[in-house]
Structure 1
Amino acid sequence: MPFKPETTYNAELKVWTIIAEQISDSESTVLTREELHLNSMRVASYMRSLGLLQSDIVGITARNTTHISAVIYGCFFNGIPFHSLNMAFEEATIEKLFNITKPRLVFCDGDEYEKVKAATKNLNAKIVTMRNHPIGSIRIDEVLATPIEENFEPLRLEQGNDQTLAILCSSGTTNIPKAVTIPNSRMILFATLHLTTADVQYAHSTLDWFSGFLTTVSSGVYSTKRIISDNPFDPASFLRIVEEHKVTWVLLSPLHLALTANCPEFEKANLLSIRTFLYGGARCSLEAQHKIRNRLQHDCMSLMYGLTELGMISMNLNFDQKPNSCGRPANGSKIKIMAENGDLLGPNEIGEICVNNGRHWAGYYGNPEETQNVLDSEQWFYTGDLGYLDDDCFLYVVDRKKEMLKYQSYKYFPNEIEEVIAQMPDVVDVCVFGVWDPMGSDKATAAVVKKYGSQLQAQDIVDHVQKNIKIMNKHLHGGAIIVDQLKHSPNGKVNRKATKEYCLKLLESNGYVESN
């Protein structure tokens, strides 16, 4: 990898300096490998002119625009980690997160300039805008006009492979996101080992998602062609991009996969160029997976289980045999299932998923207490996810530990009900949450997004659950509600808490009656 301390400009780095070809579908720009390489060295030279050291942090809150990859590669050339935030974060969240890492230089879109400026007012940070440049900002064009340092070479990493490569954000579905350090490790590339220079990559994720980060790194390492877009995800646009650019490698969230499988344009879409289709980060209905899979020329769809903290943990390469599984542990990763009392559980017993991948992890930046809460003395990471390993060592994820609910003292998980609802042909997305009642029970309630034009009714969902789940405690005692969309965290995961709050307000304001 290019980040190794022994890497040199004239030897190992020769492949890396090719970097990637990049096409922006939304901005209609094309950068050759040479142009992107030169731009990356200009950004690196600009950072050096400011006196930035490897102990400094570069802040990023930006979309997938033309020159953002050069910013990332420029950071890599200098051994300077970047801290990437989602552009949808509110000013208060940006302020809290950047006050942890204290970036001296921040790259953002002009659309977010005023918000970022206000959030970093106490940091005295320089702000570079990537597009839509407001008065007072430094334009990315000015940075790219920086002369490349004479005899430019990437810098050696002062801490070797233990040095932090990047800082991303945790999902933040229950609280303010944590600043997650990403180490300089070849294991980052595990899901991309079969890429070649002939591949065309597409992932809609921005750099604050691990998937966006992975795609940016792998496209540079393997010198692929990468297609980017800064527009909100649109399934019709995605299908057009795949056909127009003959995309071979795709990484999507389950939400985007479901939207694609259920959009009107899907029936006529040409997906024959795809030879690797990866997805992960949440659950996805089997129906949507089958629909996509049946249109691919190759058996190349793989569900991944991973963590921002540790990267990819497992991948399911046996969809036909284990369609609901996240697969076996990846090379170098170990998984164990632990009971609440600390006992090690056996096959098919549900407990907390714990992972050890044998590599250094610096923890949550500036938060040693939270790091100690998830990492034990033997470097086992306690994920907070509940799941089990079957007799063949295939991993199944059940739910988040904090989201376990009770109805009349009977424990149940929202995902158990969501899986049943997701089997309904007219359901695009679903979120089940518990509504507390005075009798001490969490009454399961479902928020459902239905297909466009569908006549699906809330009572149909209640009846379907009652028919297909024999245990009365798991029925929708709180009823169901049809909504236009669920609430998602900036990284695309369903935010159960926010969806619940949104639906309860709808129920109250519109006079919905619970179905019991």
Structure 2
Amino acid sequence: MATSRLSYIHQPVTFQYMYETVTDRLRILAEEDPDREAFVFYGYDQKRQSLTRKEILDLSTNTAKHLILSGVKKGTHVAVCMSNSIEMLVAIIGVTLAGGIPFFSPGNLKDGTDLIDMMNTLNGEFLIIDASKGDDNWNIIENIWPRSEKSSEKVPSLKMILFNGTGPLDSGLTSSTLQSLRDFFKEPVSSTDVNMPVLQPEDHLAYFCTSGSTGAPKTVTYTHFGTLNWTKSCDITMNISAESRMFLDRTFSWVVGYPRTYLTEGTTRIFVDNRMTLAGKHTEFLCNIIERERCDVVFLPGYIARDVINMPSLVDNFKNVKHIYMGGERMKKVFYDSLIGKYCKYLSTLYGLTEMGGSLVYSNTTSPFEDGIVGKPVQGMELKIINSDGAVVQTGEQGEICLRSVWRLVAYHGMEQQFRQTVDNENWLHTGDIGHLRDDGNVIVHGRYKEWISSGTNKFFPWMIENVLGTMPGVAQVFAVGVPDPRLGQVVCACVMPKPDMRLTEEDLKTFCDGKFLTESTALGISCKPRYHFIMDSIPLLGSGKIDRIKIGAMAKERFGL
């Protein structure tokens, strides 16, 4: 590892790159230990299902053969609109083995227009969707492909829909256009009937959408090589191995949630229906799973961590847990203070982007904690911090964080201009995050350019204000957002979510802010003191589980008619 006075750092590679495909890895792992559990799933009904290494290979291979016989070939784009389940796992791996490229849509609108738009953007030829006769998703199916010869007007490229659910085929669609995914699983296909495609490490593996937390989502193209190698680098940094049993609730459609660590290490993955973690009503059951499955590595997003800490009786469920890691948000000091030594020995934060995968890791064992710390680059990662002119700044100075590695995204699908705005001619990926490099090689993130609250000529990061708001008695979560002001451009709105059973008013919040913030900054003139005060009754989340700051800003503007 080399550092200098300039804010540049890199971490050399000590492992040989994995020049393999998902197909290669599935076969190797099944041959090594066919009867070992590969995946364990708990559905919304709280029932346990599992697959061995051999079972996941056999099921996904058989599904791939069905898909090939149905018309999937190398390069076919397949839309997947599903929640985490054994069926989703087998489906996306089956698509890959068939040579198809899965892309993922959350399906938020009842009429299916968001799904239709995405399928048309990516020329989706197949759709795999959770749907049973009579439910909302079944209505989406009939809207996408209605009982009419004019059906191709909706999604001209669509050839077949596979539904994961139940229901008689009385919708007017023929078996050649609508089929049951579960039938694919049940009906064996002779190996002599199908020619499986030959895949290469640089072939496209999947399209992952960015979270859209700072604007419209972009479709990130990843290869087999890229996905396996950024995962391998993070595995080494976080001591994840074949012996690990990892609890990770993230959806397979998210780059962190994709079944990566099984493919690289053979790690047993324990996962659940995402509705259980987002609802906040199943905390005790989730912790029981962690204990029952002897999980030693646990991914704990901030909202679940808060739920766990607020139920101290559950600490015994973590007796097997050695390592908790977080990602997708700034690590709060309350997590650092509350989790280490009680719920885990090691606490890490994983910094990354959909475009680059996991890029930096901080662990409590390596360096002292500081608000905003995201750690040091993983093996194979370069980092520099630049000013607005593109020059590398001195260590300790703030600037934009840029990353470079051999496994970054290869494209934004259909968005060449946006790709060139993100990845420059020297292959540096511009993250849009602002931070500085500490003397010890750790990076401190201050926020995103797009999160800046710009008031007059002064700019404030939300966390500067949120650190103060978080000291108010009775608050559970706090957010500072910029709202329109006709004179200054933006002013600050303090948004607070009270703790359960706590009665807080907007006047209480205003009084607190009056006692904490100067009305006029002694140095800048314009203060970061909140002008508006908003008591929230819910926290909007993106499909990835990240907090939707854009939505919070929109709620604040609506509340005050701005």
TM-score by structure 1 length?
0.87
Give the distance between the partners of 2:195 and 2:463, measured in 1 at CA: 50
Whether the aligned pair in 2 keeps the contact of 1:306 and 1:314 (CA below 8 Å) is yes
Give the distance between the partners of 1:385 and 1:250, measured in 2 at CA: 26
Instruction: Return the match for 1:74 from 73, 90, 94.
Output: 94
Instruction: Return the match for 1:156 from 198, 207, 215.
Output: 198
Give the distance between the partners of 1:11 and 1:201, measured in 2 at CA: 20
Which structure 2 residue ranges, 5 or more long, are not aligned?
1-17, 145-153, 172-177
Whether the aligned pair in 2 keeps the contact of 1:444 and 1:474 (CA below 8 Å) is no
Whether the aligned pair in 2 keeps the contact of 1:54 and 1:78 (CA below 8 Å) is yes
Match of 2:271 in 1: 228
Instruction: Return the match for 2:347 from 301, 306, 329.
Output: 301
CA change 1:5–1:290 in 2 (3 A) is: closer
Match of 1:313 in 2: 359
Give the distance between the partners of 1:60 and 1:212, measured in 2 at CA: 15
Instruction: Return the match for 2:413 from 365, 368, 392.
Output: 365
Give the distance between the partners of 2:527 and 2:32, measured in 1 at CA: 56
Q: Secondary structure at the match of 2:139?
A: helix
Q: Secondary structure at the match of 1:99?
A: helix
Match of 1:394 in 2: 442
Q: CA deviation at 1:313?
A: 0.8
Q: CA deviation at 1:81?
A: 2.1
Whether the aligned pair in 2 keeps the contact of 1:60 and 1:106 (CA below 8 Å) is yes
Residues 416-435 of structure 1 mapped to structure 2, 5 A cutoff? 416-424=464-472, 426-435=474-483
Match of 2:302 in 1: 254
Question: 2:118 is matched by which residue type in structure 1?
Answer: L
Query: Deviations for 1:217-264, whole angstroms, at most 9, x for unmatched residues?
Result: 2234433433322234133332232223222222233233233323x4
Whether the aligned pair in 2 keeps the contact of 1:435 and 1:478 (CA below 8 Å) is no
2:369 matches 1:322: yes
Q: CA deviation at 1:39?
A: 1.4
Question: 1:219 is matched by which residue type in structure 2?
Answer: Y
Instruction: Return the match for 1:240 from 285, 288, 297.
Output: 288
Q: CA deviation at 1:372?
A: 0.9
Instruction: Return the match for 1:130 from 154, 157, 164.
Output: 164
Question: Of the two structures, which has the highest relative contact order with CA contacts closer than 8 Å and spacing of 6 or more?
Answer: 2
Q: CA deviation at 1:89?
A: 6.0
Give the distance between the partners of 2:26 and 2:382, measured in 1 at CA: 36
Question: 1:142 is matched by which residue type in structure 2?
Answer: D
Question: 1:410 is matched by which residue type in structure 2?
Answer: N
Give the distance between the partners of 2:395 and 2:508, measured in 1 at CA: 36
Match of 2:220 in 1: 180
Whether the aligned pair in 2 keeps the contact of 1:255 and 1:429 (CA below 8 Å) is no
CA change 1:248–1:361 in 2 (3 A) is: same
2:140 matches 1:115: yes
Query: Deviations for 1:341-396, whole angstroms, at most 9, x for unmatched residues?
Result: 22221222222111101335321012111111111111101111122212222112
Match of 1:347 in 2: 395
Query: Deviations for 1:151-199, whole angstroms, at most 9, x for unmatched residues?
Result: 6896432xx3222211110111344311111222222233334334443
Give the distance between the partners of 2:451 and 2:319, measured in 1 at CA: 39
Give the distance between the partners of 1:10 and 1:269, measured in 2 at CA: 38
Match of 1:208 in 2: 253
Question: 2:345 is matched by which residue type in structure 1?
Answer: D
CA RMSD in angstroms, aligned pairs only: 3.0
Give the distance between the partners of 1:306 and 1:9, measured in 2 at CA: 26
Whether the aligned pair in 1 keeps the contact of 2:63 and 2:185 (CA below 8 Å) is yes
Q: Secondary structure at the match of 1:211?
A: coil
Larger Rg: 2
Give the distance between the partners of 1:8 and 1:307, measured in 2 at CA: 24
Q: Greater CA deviation, 398-407 or 194-203?
A: 194-203
Whether the aligned pair in 2 keeps the contact of 1:348 and 1:390 (CA below 8 Å) is yes
Query: Deviations for 1:116-139, whole angstroms, at most 9, x for unmatched residues?
Result: 554564332322222355755522
Query: Deviations for 1:33-61, whole angstroms, at most 9, x for unmatched residues?
Result: 13333211111111121232221122111
Give the distance between the partners of 1:261 and 1:255, measured in 2 at CA: 10
Give the distance between the partners of 1:8 and 1:478, measured in 2 at CA: 56
Match of 1:512 in 2: none
Give the distance between the partners of 1:346 and 1:469, measured in 2 at CA: 32
Give the distance between the partners of 1:481 and 1:5, measured in 2 at CA: 48
Query: Deviations for 1:316-357, whole angstroms, at most 9, x for unmatched residues?
Result: 024660343100111111111121122221222222111101
Q: Secondary structure at the match of 2:495?
A: strand
Match of 1:272 in 2: 319
Give the distance between the partners of 1:203 and 1:10, measured in 2 at CA: 23
Q: CA deviation at 1:75?
A: 2.8
CA change 1:353–1:453 in 2 (3 A) is: same
CA change 1:97–1:376 in 2 (3 A) is: same
Instruction: Return the match for 1:106 from 118, 123, 127.
Output: 127
Query: Deviations for 1:264-310, whole angstroms, at most 9, x for unmatched residues?
Result: 465555211212211111124211342223422x4221011100011
Whether the aligned pair in 2 keeps the contact of 1:417 and 1:432 (CA below 8 Å) is yes
Give the distance between the partners of 2:527 and 2:33, measured in 1 at CA: 54
CA change 1:10–1:182 in 2 (3 A) is: closer
Query: Deviations for 1:194-224, whole angstroms, at most 9, x for unmatched residues?
Result: 33444322222212222211xx222344334
TM-score by structure 2 length?
0.81
Give the distance between the partners of 2:527 and 2:130, measured in 1 at CA: 46
Give the distance between the partners of 1:478 and 1:361, measured in 2 at CA: 41
Whether the aligned pair in 1 keeps the contact of 2:108 and 2:114 (CA below 8 Å) is no
Which structure 1 residue ranges, 5 or more long, are not aligned?
510-516
Instruction: Return the match for 1:478 from 531, 541, 558.
Output: 531
CA change 1:164–1:116 in 2 (3 A) is: farther
